Structure 1
Amino acid sequence: MQLQTQALSETELASLSPTLFFHARAQLALGMEQRRFKLLTALADHALAQGWRLRLQRIQAGAQEIAASAPQHLHIFMEDRGFYGPNIFHATPGYLRGFWFFDEIGNRNNSKQRLAHFSAPAVPKRKAEAFFHSLSSEVIGQNRSKFKQPEAGQGGIEPGSLAFFAQDFGAPKYHRHFMTVPAMIEAAIAAKGARRLYIKPHPNQSLSELETLAGYDDPQNGVHVVVASIHDLLRACDVVLTLTSAVGFEAFLHRKPVILGGETDFWQNAVTLTNPERMAAAIETALAQDWPFEAFLYWYLQDYCMRDRAEDLPRVLAAIHRRGYRLGDHLGQGFF
């Protein structure tokens, strides 16, 4: 597939035979062109074998509304805007490498996990523990994260601390933050007591944002802006603080309680702070709970995410079949 840059229209859709569209921005589009994404590549190959056309389309404003107007086609949107349509799915890489969203309403903060009820007792305990052990050993043992990390084990992070993980200061486009990055940092400073507070900038932070974060560095008062590996910070800290960063999810692998400052789809296993003046109470609440980390990760990743492997294609096809498309009925059952 080669990326198509011309705008999609309802008129063009009406003229096409059944087509599977992948809508993506530059980086994910390149991954599709190079067949790097095993699950979506398997889906594309399956569609071709079933006589469908394929098209890789550059994301455009209003594409979801246009796509929904022609239900003879299927559309996979590889961005974060939530949208429900009878012929629309959403797919992006998940919080942990190797896991993907394949969702009917959105990705990440807007995925259906955000609406789901989590019950730890309903999760098979032994399976969850085995899954957790395997996953944490792999991710932590390889110092792995979504972004390349400094070498782990360099020390200098004091145990019993708070760890704040920054992200883009701008208001998110497709979900909500309940406070700004500076407001959450200042609330953490006010509430930290005798603990040290470590602030880690995001790898994609702008220069002006880095300058703002550097201004909080105050070692004499126990506030440190650091570039350490997230796993060193997660290993040492007592509580993890972030607005909606994926590191809040990665913290579960270290069995660390998390305080969020915005809307996420993993809020069921964290404290979500809506008023920064209540930070101290939120920290106390987070520390007081016995969080079911193993059960939550198993429930979230096994039940709601896909592995990036061709072996998970039947799960994708089943989801498509449930929307009434023969493309997903790979066994020719005619029912589900």
Structure 2
Amino acid sequence: MTQIVFHVPRSWLSFGGKGLQPFYLRLTDGLQARGVRIEVEVLDRDTLPARVEEDDAIHVVHHGRFAHPRVRNADVAYIYPFWNFDAQGIRAFSSIAQKAFPQDDIDPEIARPFFRRLRQRMVGGRTSRYAQPDETTDVGKVAAAVFLQSEGHRVVGETCYLDRWEMLDGVCATIDGPVVVKPHPRDLDPATVQGLRDRLESYPHMSVSDGNIHDLIASADRVVTINSAVGIEAYLHRKPVLLCGQSDFHHVADVARSVEDLTQTLMRAPRKRAYDKFIWWYFGDQCLSSVDADLADRVLARCGLG
């Protein structure tokens, strides 16, 4: 009998925990209905490699980055209900990063309705991964909207091609027009506040806003970030994106791996891409949805069992 072992946080399984997330509940129910033996274990990242070698089961690791023929890594892929289910990692570390975007092979009659539905939910609903202000923010027309991330988070720091200050200084030094900057809502580091204050004195065309992310994206000619999910949301606005870090959604963005790259890219007029096709390819084809009727079958196929 096929066996799949799910490795999840201890807090989900401990007394008073919330239990498995809906994605895993629907998936395990579907797999069991297909005769798959399911086990759920507390995730121990230190002992996981040895645990995988103990049997010949498929091991699914929540929020993992374990590359092994019998390991799949799973977590939300920027926008719920879409999930990475990947043999290499999640988000910036997923194998999607190395894949070619087959733009010419995608049927626009499939991609456009998918894009419109997701756009209506996110842009029309003014929602994002983190809570956003309800009130409308008017910053006028800006040449670039720069979205910072907290580099205190290990994963962000190790994926940077440029750090936040190199990125922001490069944008403000190159662009003559207005630049708006939004700090990450969870970044409470006093150094971030001071760094922004210093730059407000140096760059009179720069402003700082904690406004709704969709208002800021809509106001901008282009969006600049390390590898934040705001890049995906900017695609939903059909806005050009410039990334300054490793990501798995770089295919329709410009990528700066140095300050020189950043400067040269900003000096060129941004061009728009096939955002509707990309959004369908990334979320509809490369990711899994917790509400897909064929979720269990897609997972079995990705485990080499379908």
Q: Taking every aligned residue pair, what percent have the same amino acid on both sides?
A: 24
CA distance in structure 2 between the partners assigned to 1:56 and 1:163 by the alignment: 43
- Shift of residue 199 of structure 1? 0.9
Counterpart pick for 1:54 among 21, 39, 54: 39
Aligned pairs for 1:200-279 within 5 A? 200-215=182-197, 216-218=199-201, 221-279=204-262
Instruction: Find the aligned partners of 1:19 and 1:43 in 2 and give their Cα distance.
Output: 11
**1:21 is the counterpart of 2:9:** no
Q: 1:178 aligns with which of 139, 161, 178?
A: 161
Please list, as runs of the form range in 1=range in 2, the aligned pairs for 1:54-203 lying within 5 A after superposition: 54-63=39-48, 65-81=49-65, 83-155=66-138, 157-170=139-152, 172-173=154-155, 175-193=158-176, 195-203=177-185
Amino acid at match of 2:51: A
CA distance in 2 between partners of 1:96 and 1:135 (Å)? 9
In the other structure, the counterpart of 1:300 is: 282
- Aligned partners of 2:235, 2:171: CA distance in 1, in Å? 20
Deviation for aligned residue 1:36: 6.0
Does the 8 Å contact 1:179/1:262 carry over to 2?
A: yes
**Of 68-77 and 291-300, the range deviating more from structure 2:** 68-77
Task: Tell me how large the CA RMSD over aligned residues is.
Answer: 2.6
Cα gap change, 1:181 to 1:29, in 2 (>3 Å): farther
Letter paired with 2:130: F
- Write the deviation string for residues 169-193 of structure 1: whole angstroms up to 9, x where unpaired: 2474485211111111111110111
The Cα shift of 1:41 comes to 0.9
Q: Residue 167 of structure 2 contacts residue 259 of structure 2 at CA under 8 Å; is this kept in 1?
A: yes
Do 1:201 and 1:213's aligned partners in 2 also have CA atoms closer than 8 Å?
no
Q: 1:291-320: CA deviations, max 9, x gaps?
A: 111111111111101112262222112222
Aligned to 1:228, what secondary structure does the other structure show?
Answer: coil
Q: Relative to 1, partners in 2 of residues 1:289 and 1:74: Cα closer, same or farther, differing over 3 Å?
A: same
Give the Cα separation in 1 of the matches to 2:10 and 2:143: 39
Q: Does 1:38 align with 2:22?
A: yes
Q: Is the 8 A contact 1:44 1:54 kept in 2?
A: no
Say if 1:294 and 1:86 are closer, same or farther in 2 by CA, change over 3 A.
same
Q: Which has the higher contact order (CA 8 A, sep 6+)?
A: 2
Quick one: structure 1 residues 29 and 274, their matched pair in 2 at CA, closer, same or farther if it must change by over 3 Å?
farther
Q: Deviation at 1:110?
A: 1.2
Contact 2:172 / 2:203 at 8 angstroms: preserved in 1? no
Give the equivalent residue in structure 2 for 1:290: 272
TM-score, normalising length: structure 1: 0.81
AA aligned to 2:86 is D
CA distance in 2, matches of 1:210, 1:74: 43
Deviates more, 1:232-241 or 1:121-130: 121-130
Moved over 6 A (4+): none
Question: Retained in 1: the 8 A contact 2:4–2:39?
Answer: yes
1:149 positional shift: 0.6
SS at match of 1:138: helix
- 1:72, distance to aligned residue in structure 2 (A): 2.5
- Whether the 8 Å contact between 1:38 and 1:308 is mirrored in structure 2 is yes
Shift of 1:118: 0.9
